[in-house]
């Protein structure tokens, strides 16, 4: 019988449970779930024999090093800013590490030390990044093996409510804090389009959204996600005149989100009048009045001021946005605002009140890669790869599963000695990504490919 493997899982959030469930299918694995507050870890481990909960402050280097050294492998599902600290502890103990995050410069600096220690530091093995790499590289390498070239590469991914659950004006719902989703609206985008390097400032990001056709049943739009210009090199597609990776939302989201941006709601500057310590109740119409600098706080006057902030001239969309503002209640004198310190955080609190997933509601992930291919004989065709998955009502959400399960698969392959490439790595080569991809279909995760 194989020897028991001990795994340290840092974090007990949204994606930890599918990862834990996968790893505990093997009777040889024991998993320690570590959080700053042990009771958070216990909420998870109480459901899974073979797992135990501990309290661990990852900023306590001695405690972190001791915990990492006591296990065969550490999975870091805590904020990415802490991963380099975890990798340093793993290098010292000569133990493997897995994260689902992008490789940051601080992590990349540890590559040589990780190789010298003989450890695998696997990263970017969730959904985006993760599954997106696997299915993109599969087709890219097939085209290259046949002597062809990738002339255009577009990849868009969306974590969305299933259509029947997209029942609010933004067509969006939250599984956890709204803050990260809103802050992403401030990110700049950079990508190649028709041989030109396109750079879009965060304030203009929503204006750049365009329709993305996948299936007729879905009205989807997409916009660039941060800097994807370097993927021509990373994916070895130097001939790609277009190279863009982006996010998808339902139609109408960008125009509504841009209105909130224009109103100033992405301002995270602390304000005394919005702090929890501020005396008295704060109705929402007063928050919006202060934000817009209006003399009047009546809903009618506030709506008129907001209407001037709507960029789109489409009359139907303008109506939808005003309806959505009313639905949010942010011009109402009878809806109390939760004081969280800044305009951004006060809005987050309201969105979380109204737009969390309800009992039995499903989420959905949809990922499309689209390639324009020049074949060896000079002919051209279009290849697509689509991953579509729905969450289970009252079970794992699709987003949690498509991040947590690939992470679990990579972890198991490392423990089994089937993934052995040392250093700070991502699934960029066939010897790394193929074994992971081979196991995804049995978990209900796959891609449908078409050539036109």
Q: Which active-site residues does the annotation give?
A: 128
Whose CA is closest to 143, among 385, 446, 432, 418? 385
User: What angle do the packed helices 343-354 and 315-328 form, to 10 degrees?
Assistant: 90
Residue showing tokens 């991502």: 426
CA atoms within 13 A on the CB side of 369: 25
DSSP run (H or E) holding 301:
helix 299-307
Per the CB < 8 A criterion, the answer to whether 190 and 199 are in contact is yes
Reading the block at residue 44, the tokens are 């998870």
Quote the CA–CA distance of 323 and 274 in Å, as a whole number: 26
- In the chain the first and final C-alpha atoms are separated, in Å, by 50
Exposure class string for 427-445: b at 16+ Cβ within 10 A, else e:
beeeebbebbbebbeebeb
Residue showing tokens 């340093």: 88
Quote the CA–CA distance of 117 and 129 in Å, as a whole number: 26
Give SS3 for 111: helix
Concatenated DSSP letters for 377-427? TS-EEEEEEEEEEEPPTTS--HHHHHHHHHHHHHHHHHHTTS----EEE-S
Per the CB < 8 A criterion, the answer to whether 271 and 337 are in contact is no
């Amino acid at each position: 019988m194989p020897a028991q493997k001990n795994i340290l899982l840092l974090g007990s959030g949204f994606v930890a449970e599918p990862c834990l469930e996968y790893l505990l299918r093997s009777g040889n694995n024991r998993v320690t779930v570590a959080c700053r507050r042990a009771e958070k870890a216990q909420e998870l481990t109480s459901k899974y024999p073979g797992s135990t909960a501990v309290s661990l402050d990852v900023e306590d280097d001695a405690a972190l090093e001791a915990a990492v050294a006591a296990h065969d492998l550490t999975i870091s599902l805590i904020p990415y800013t802490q991963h380099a600290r975890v990798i340093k502890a793993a290098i010292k103990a000569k133990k493997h590490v897995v994260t689902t995050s992008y490789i940051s410069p601080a992590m990349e600096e540890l590559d040589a030390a990780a190789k010298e220690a003989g450890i695998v530091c696997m990263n970017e093995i969730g959904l985006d990044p993760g599954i997106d790499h696997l299915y993109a590289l599969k087709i890219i390498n097939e085209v290259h093996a046949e002597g062809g070239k990738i002339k255009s590469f577009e990849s868009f991914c969306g974590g969305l409510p299933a259509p029947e659950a997209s029942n609010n004006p933004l067509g969006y719902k939250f599984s956890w804090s709204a803050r990260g989703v809103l802050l992403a609206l401030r990110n700049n985008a950079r990508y190649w389009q028709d041989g030109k390097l396109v750079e879009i400032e965060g304030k203009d990001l929503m204006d750049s959204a365009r329709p993305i056709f996948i299936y007729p049943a879905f009205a989807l739009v997409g916009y660039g996600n941060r800097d994807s210009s370097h993927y021509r090199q990373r994916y070895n597609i130097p001939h790609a005149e277009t190279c863009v990776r982006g996010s998808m939302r339902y139609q109408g989201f960008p125009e509504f989100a841009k209105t909130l941006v224009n109103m100033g709601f992405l301002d995270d500057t602390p304000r005394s009048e919005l702090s929890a310590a501020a005396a008295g109740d704060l109705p929402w119409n007063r928050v919006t009045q202060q934000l817009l600098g209006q003399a009047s706080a009546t809903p009618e006057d506030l709506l008129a001021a907001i209407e001037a902030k709507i960029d789109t001239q489409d009359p139907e969309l303008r109506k939808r946005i005003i309806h959505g503002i009313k639905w949010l209640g942010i011009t109402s004198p009878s809806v109390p605002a939760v004081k969280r310190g800044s305009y951004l955080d006060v809005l987050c609190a309201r969105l979380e009140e109204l737009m969390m997933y309800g009992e039995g509601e499903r989420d959905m992930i949809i990922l499309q890669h689209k390639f324009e291919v020049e074949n060896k004989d000079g002919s051209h065709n279009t290849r697509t790869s689509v991953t579509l998955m729905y969450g289970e009502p009252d079970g794992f959400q699709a987003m949690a599963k498509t991040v947590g399960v690939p992470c679990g698969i990579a972890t198991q392959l490392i423990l089994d000695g089937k993934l052995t490439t040392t250093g700070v790595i991502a699934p960029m080569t066939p010897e790394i990504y193929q074994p992971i991809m081979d196991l995804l279909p049995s978990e209900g995760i796959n891609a449908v490919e078409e050539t036109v």
